[in-house]
Structure formats: C-alpha cells, structure tokens
C-alpha cells in the first residue's frame, strides 16, 4: 500500500504529494539529505526489485527519478540482516552510476534505528510515514484511504 501511495502515477490520483511528503520526512530526519523536491511526476516506483540482476538481494521498494535512484528497505517487526544495509547502499550507488543518476540513496523505514547504518543512509519511522500521509488532501476515496492508513500506522507503531 505504501508503494502505491508513493507512486506519482498511481491510480490514487494524488500525484506526487505522498512521495513529496515522504521524502520531506526523510530529509527532516537525515542531515545532509539531498533535495529531491523537483519535478517528481515522472518517477517510477517498483516493489520487490532484484537490483542489477542480483540473485541474493531483493529490495522492498525502488524509486527511480530523472536524477536519482532510491531503495526503501521496509521493516515492521524485524532487524536488518548481516550487512544488509551496507549491501543495499552499495547496490543503489552502483545502480545510480549505471543509469546516470546524480544520487543513489538508501532509505531505512523501521520503527527503530538500524543496528549498523552505512554512511548516507536516510531514515524514516512508521510514525513519519503517518505524518506524511496526514498532509494529503482528504477528498475522495484516496484521501480517505491515506487518512485511514495513517491512523492504522499510528496505532500499530
């Protein structure tokens, strides 16, 4: 559901508003985070990507923009695996370089701080996701779904 909200081309009709709010929350929590506030309308969002043909690493959400590539590693009730975040950070940097993107960054979405964060890691909590979704317009079915998902996330985490 989160990937659907983050997709500017999603059938929700909210455009890039959820993605913009999500990235703003990451920037608020992560010193030195790049500004991704430009035109986000051409961004694509993919779930469960096996980046660069990897046979061992599957990224939960991949966000591809005109000058950036992002991976979002989503945790609910688990810790990261051994060296998982470092491997994903290396993969996103390689992907950005391979596709000519200026930025390649990893975002860690979790109720807790990672055990071994690599440099340049962006972080956001589920509460931050709820905050971002709460800023969306509350009109129509999509606005109601965003508000409901935000309430659920706040109650759960």
| Cα separations in angstroms, 38 against 43, 65, 102, 132 | 11, 10, 13, 17
Tens-digit pLDDT profile for the chain (157 aa)? 999 999 999 899 889 999 999 999 999 999 999 988 788 989 999 998 887 877 778 899 999 999 999 999 999 888 888 899 999 999 999 999 999 999 999 999 998 888 889 989 999 999 999 999 998 888 889 889 999 999 998 887 7
The predicted pLDDT at position 78 comes to 83
As a whole number of Å, the CA-based R_g of the chain is: 15
| Domains of the chain, first to last | 2-156 (3.40.1350)
Q: At what angle do helices 140-156 and 126-134 cross, to 10 degrees?
A: 150
Q: At what angle do helices 126-134 and 17-29 cross, to 10 degrees?
A: 140
Which burial class, exposed, middle or buried, applies to 115 when counting CB atoms under 10 A from its CB (0-12, 13-18, 19+)?
exposed
CA dihedral 33, 69, 98, 106 (to 10 degrees): 60
* Cα–Cα distance for residue pair 73/60, rounded to 1 Å: 5
* Cα–Cα distance for residue pair 125/110, rounded to 1 Å: 5
């Amino acid at each position: 559901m989160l990937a659907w909200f983050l997709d500017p081309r999603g059938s929700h009709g909210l455009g890039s508003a959820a993605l913009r709010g999500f990235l703003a929350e990451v920037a608020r929590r992560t010193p030195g985070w790049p500004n991704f506030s430009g035109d986000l309308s051409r961004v694509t969002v993919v779930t469960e990507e096996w980046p660069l043909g990897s046979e061992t690493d599957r990224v939960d959400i991949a966000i591809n923009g005109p000058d950036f590539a992002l991976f979002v590693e989503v945790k609910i009730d688990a810790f990261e695996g051994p060296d998982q975040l470092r491997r994903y950070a290396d993969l996103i940097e390689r992907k950005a370089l391979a596709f000519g993107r200026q930025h390649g960054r990893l975002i860690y979405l979790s109720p807790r701080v990672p055990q071994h964060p690599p440099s340049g890691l962006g972080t956001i909590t589920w509460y931050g996701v709820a905050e971002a979704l709460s800023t969306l317009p509350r009109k129509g079915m999509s606005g109601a779904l965003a508000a409901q998902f935000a309430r659920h996330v706040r109650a759960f985490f």
